[in-house]
Chains A and B, each alone.
Chain A
Amino acid sequence: MSTGQTPDHPGNRDTSEASIAWPEVWAWAGGRLAVAGRGLLLFGLALAGLIQLALLAGALVGVPVLTVRVATTGHHVGALVFGACGLVCWLVVSPLVLRWMRSLARLTRRVISQWTQVPIADPYLPRPWATGGSKGPRRRLAWLLTDPATWRDLLWVTVNGLVGWILALLPAGLLFLGLFGIVAPYASVFQRFLAIGVAAVGTWMSPNLLRGYGYFARSMLAPTKEAELTLRVQQLSQTRTEAMDTGAAEIRRIERDLHDGAQARLVAMGMTLDAAGQIIDTNPDAARALLYEARDSSVKALAELRDLVRGIHPPVLADRGVADAIRALSLDTPLRIHLASDLHGRPPAPIESAAYFAVSELLANVTKHAEARQTWIDLRYTDGMLRIGVTDNGHGGADPARGTGLRGIERRLAPFDGVLAVSSPPGGPTAVTMEIPCELSLPKTSSC
């Protein structure tokens, strides 16, 4: 919105009330032109699809047919050459065209999502080599051919190339019709008015026309229920594996800490007490010293157990829930933390724990890397989502792709379908937002 339109702007008072608000008119006209342009570009994408379709048909059908015809004429060498070409077309060209078609479909989904506000998700199966294994051409071909989305893309390109493009072209076409109505040399007044009228209504409706095209595209390009479920199953099995690995690693760490820490100290204590018992009659002073030593050992063992418990499940988290646990955490860090919490109830315990450790890790990151003076933590529950925002005024430049810390937090949240978004431009500030879908239970001790 331009500042010229704000009601209390002095410039606005001078213009008379009846005059046309030209900036708005220009903005409106610009918007309609943009819609027409976008429609034209979508039409271009449909044409590109037709070209791909033609290439595919040529490679799969045209070349073999030619081969057969040449062979029937008796030119054996020619038939051999054509046969080789046909083989190459079948094995190399057509997969390439299919790949290209997929890129085009991806592009179409992206621009339609952006231009018509009809979001379309990608339906493709994840690359099997992303989780290990070879990346050979056979595996790639199998991935491409076994994915039903490939064949749906082909169907889309066909239908879109035959009829779909008409809808995409309508906004620009109607605009053109209006122009033609004005400038056409041989046209009756009635025809001119009809053309301009149709064009005006069409232009008025053009965003809706484009959106209609968006819905049409979504009906063919969006993942089917089956594809969605397949993707979901794959994602679930991946996060489950990760969660189990993390859990197992955690248990190993606890076992090691207990073994090297508290257990070892208890063994030492037992030996010290035994030694004290041996000499208590002959040398009571030395025995007393040993007893005190054993006592100090028990203090140290307790301290280690406390630290261990804090790392597994912090006491305040168990006592009071995630908001107070984060408050307690913020009292223990050197950062200045402003905590705003609006939680009326408690999320399920595993989610509380994941959220707590995610915030704890983020604060550790801020302390270590950001050189921030202040940090704001915002905890709220809206639309079935636990939302946690952590913002610092440090120097920014945090990248989830590079930082293992942020990646670790993503892994922590993934089993709960939680997501993490990071905005961290160089120079700061860094804003991390986490969202975890969950239900809140009512607080145990309600004061109201």
Chain B
Amino acid sequence: MRVVIAEDLFLLRDGLTRMLQAHGLEISAAVDNGADLLAAVTADRPDVAIVDVRLPPTFTDEGIRAALAARKTVPGLPVLVLSQYVEQLYARELLAGGTGGIGYLLKDRVFDSAQFVDAVRRVAAGGTAMDPEVIARLLARNSGDGSLAALSPREREVLALMAEGRSNAAIAQRLVITERAVAKHTASIFGKLNLQPSDDDNRRVLAVLAYLGG
């Protein structure tokens, strides 16, 4: 799997490169600004681009804009955005296309390399990886919602993991339950939230996020 990295801090860029290489991923380019990112994705056509939010020259939300621009140039390009902080506003903008292949994670998540590489692979495969903090804040904001209040604590855990973009297998492993139990929970959640059930993991995630975001 070929990866392009855009990160302006040398230490982090280098660390990410090593870590991904250690997990058998190929780094086709590691750049330090948005313009180079665009050039790299057009030239290399990687499987996924990992982009830091703050990039030169303005050090504001350059990365978000570069990521969205890259997806315009290379339609469907999976992009994983990394940031020191997560904002629902940016999560919404990234998800607005509604096509998947989007990740938005705190930089801290790279501390757990196995989980992080899993997220990279998920995004590269067209899936979604939303940071648990984004999901936690979405859920907190919707705490007044009657349908959400009707969920059992276990169902809420499953919902949160599902919204992060995890598959049933991953949820089962995380909660130490069987996959069948997870399937039962998700069916119940979709029933209570009045959402159309779907076997497609990605469409399922987007439906849940749309529900929480709207």
Residues of B within 8 A of A309 (CB): 85
Count of chain A residues near B, Cβ 8 A = 21
Report the bound CA distance from A315 to B64 in whole Å: 13
Q: A334-B144, A444-B58 are in contact. Are A316 and B87 (CB under 8 A)?
A: yes
How many whole Å from A190's CB to the nearest CB in chain B? 82
Kindly state whether residue A259 has any CB partner on chain B within 8 Å.
no
Q: A298-B111, A309-B85 are in contact. Are A332 and B58 (CB under 8 A)?
A: no
How many whole Å from A375's CB to the nearest CB in chain B? 14
A318 nearest in chain B by CB position: B60
Q: A306-B85, A316-B87, A319-B60 are in contact. Are A333 and B141 (CB under 8 A)?
A: yes
Residues of A within 8 A of B111 (CB): 295, 298-299
Is the CB–CB distance between A327 and B84 below 8 Å?
Answer: no
Is the CB–CB distance between B61 and A320 below 8 Å?
Answer: yes
Count of chain B residues near A, Cβ 8 A = 21
Residues of A within 8 A of B107 (CB): 302
**Beta-carbon contacts of A346-382 to B below 8 Å, as 1s and 0s?**
0000000000000000000000000000000000000
Report the bound CA distance from A130 to B142 in whole Å: 47
Kindly state whether residue A27 has any CB partner on chain B within 8 Å.
no
Is the CB–CB distance between A332 and B108 below 8 Å?
Answer: no
Within 8 Å by CB of B143, from A306, A318, A319, A334, lies A334
Kindly state whether residue A310 has any CB partner on chain B within 8 Å.
yes
Report the bound CA distance from A320 to B54 in whole Å: 12
Report the bound CA distance from A299 to B85 in whole Å: 12
Is the CB–CB distance between A332 and B137 below 8 Å?
Answer: yes
Report the bound CA distance from A177 to B84 in whole Å: 82
How many whole Å from A301's CB to the nearest CB in chain B? 10
Kindly state whether residue A417 has any CB partner on chain B within 8 Å.
no
Residues of B within 8 A of A306 (CB): 84-85
**Beta-carbon contacts of B135-146 to A below 8 Å, as 1s and 0s?**
001001111100
Chain B residues numbered 75-98 whose CB sits less than 8 Å from any CB in chain A: 84-85, 87-90, 92
How many whole Å from A105's CB to the nearest CB in chain B? 54
A331 nearest in chain B by CB position: B88
How many whole Å from A309's CB to the nearest CB in chain B? 7
Is the CB–CB distance between B141 and A319 below 8 Å?
Answer: no
**Beta-carbon contacts of A239-263 to B below 8 Å, as 1s and 0s?**
0000000000000000000000000
Kindly state whether residue A324 has any CB partner on chain B within 8 Å.
yes
Is the CB–CB distance between A332 and B60 below 8 Å?
Answer: no
Is the CB–CB distance between B144 and A316 below 8 Å?
Answer: no
Within 8 Å by CB of B141, from A295, A298, A331, A444, lies A331
Kindly state whether residue A328 has any CB partner on chain B within 8 Å.
yes
Residues of B within 8 A of A324 (CB): 89
Within 8 Å by CB of A319, from B61, B88, B144, lies B61
How many whole Å from A363's CB to the nearest CB in chain B? 12
How many whole Å from A311's CB to the nearest CB in chain B? 12
Chain A residues numbered 264-304 whose CB sits less than 8 Å from any CB in chain B: 295, 298-299, 302-303
How many whole Å from A242's CB to the nearest CB in chain B? 30
Residues of B within 8 A of A302 (CB): 84, 106-108
Report the bound CA distance from A331 to B86 in whole Å: 12
Is the CB–CB distance between A315 and B58 below 8 Å?
Answer: no
Residues of A within 8 A of B137 (CB): 332
5 closest cross-chain pairs (CB), A and B:
A319-B60, A328-B89, A319-B61, A331-B88, A299-B108
A-B contact pairs, 26 of them (CB 8 A): A295-B111, A295-B112, A298-B108, A298-B111, A299-B111, A302-B106, A309-B85, A315-B84, A315-B85, A315-B87, A316-B61, A316-B87, A316-B89, A318-B60, A319-B60, A319-B61, A320-B61, A324-B89, A327-B89, A328-B88, A328-B89, A331-B87, A331-B141, A332-B137, A334-B143, A444-B58
